[in-house]
Amino acid sequence: MSPSGDYLYAGALGLLVFRRDVASGKLSFVQNHDATTSSLPDAESIVVSPDGTFVYATDDNSTATVVSFEREAICASSPLAGCQEAAKGVLKVNKTNDLKAKVVSKWVGSAPFDAGDPVLSTDVALCMYDASGSSQPRLGMAAAAGGTCGPKDCWKSSTTGFTYTDKLLTPDGLVKLKLKTGIIGTPKITAKAKGGSIPPFALPLTFPATVQLQVSNGECLEATFSSAVVNTAAKLTAKLP
């Protein structure tokens, strides 16, 4: 278990990673570092660093292997400065049932943006911040570059931009992320997440709230919501303008 109690690591044909809801104890599968990707036949002994950043695992003594893993930061600890502001947008969250939770965010931009090439090398993250004293970001969801989501590639490119699809909802519940870069047509972002893999977070938010798309090439876009139409412990709806 990580020191904060929000991650659980287990050995089984590699290293299994689960996210843990500290309040309820529920576990959500994140990923499996199997023998192919980690050179770790079977994690026999697992140790987490005091700050939760590193995980060290030994194998079952057949190869005397020690493998170290580093937790990757998904979002910046505070909203990035200088991001392109969305001209209009909407944010909807339904947490009536956490195992069936839904997050939908849609923005329309005013100028083209550079998304790099997520098919090969550019990581993308959707990050939500608010004005409360709670740990920030309130929610972070990653769409890493490349990779496969089930039998298919996670990312696909088109003449208008890129689309990320993951019906397995790992690691953070994102099922669809569409990036229309505006090179052809109007720039638009649509993000949809659902299910128990969405990282634990609590509503209501304290406004103003900011949702940013952070790209590993340094590009970022944001929608800042000054108030909400609905803002309860179970549901959130905010619109811009």
The DSSP annotation for 201-238 comes to --S---SSEEEEEEETTS-EEEEEESS-SEESSSEEEE
Q: Are residues 107 and 63 in the same domain?
A: no
CA 93 vs. chain centroid, Å, equals 15
pLDDT at residue 37, as a whole number: 57
The pair of structure tokens assigned to 131 is 């004005």
Q: Are residues 100 and 185 in the same domain?
A: yes
> Is 75 among the domain residues?
no
d(CA 2, CA 19): 10
Domain limits for position 53:
7-70
The model's confidence at residue 226, banded by pLDDT at 50, 70 and 90, is very high
> Is 201 among the domain residues?
yes
pLDDT at residue 40, as a whole number: 65
The mean pLDDT value for 31-60 works out to 74
**DSSP summary character for residue 71:** P
Q: Are residues 153 and 49 in the same domain?
A: no
What is the per-residue burial (b if ≥16 Cβ within 10 Å, else e) of 50-78? eeeeebebbbeeeeebebebeeeebbbee
pLDDT at 43 over 80: no
Q: Are residues 49 and 127 in the same domain?
A: no
Q: Are residues 18 and 123 in the same domain?
A: no
The mean pLDDT value for 128-151 works out to 92
> Is 144 among the domain residues?
yes
The mean pLDDT value for 212-230 works out to 96
Q: Are residues 144 and 47 in the same domain?
A: no
Task: Give the number of domains in the chain.
Answer: 2
Give yes or no for a contact between 55 and 47, defined as CB atoms under 8 angstroms apart.
Answer: yes
pLDDT at residue 61, as a whole number: 61
Question: What is the chain's mean pLDDT, rounded?
Answer: 88
Q: Are residues 160 and 233 in the same domain?
A: yes
pLDDT at residue 68, as a whole number: 82
Q: For residue 99, which phi and psi values (nearest 5 degrees)?
A: -70, -15
Q: Are residues 18 and 104 in the same domain?
A: no
- pLDDT tens-digit map of 165-194: 999 888 889 999 999 999 999 999 999 999
pTM for this prediction: 0.78
The model's confidence at residue 36, banded by pLDDT at 50, 70 and 90, is low
> Is 76 among the domain residues?
no
Residue 70 or 2, more confident: 2
Q: Are residues 59 and 148 in the same domain?
A: no
> Is 78 among the domain residues?
no
Q: Are residues 162 and 99 in the same domain?
A: yes
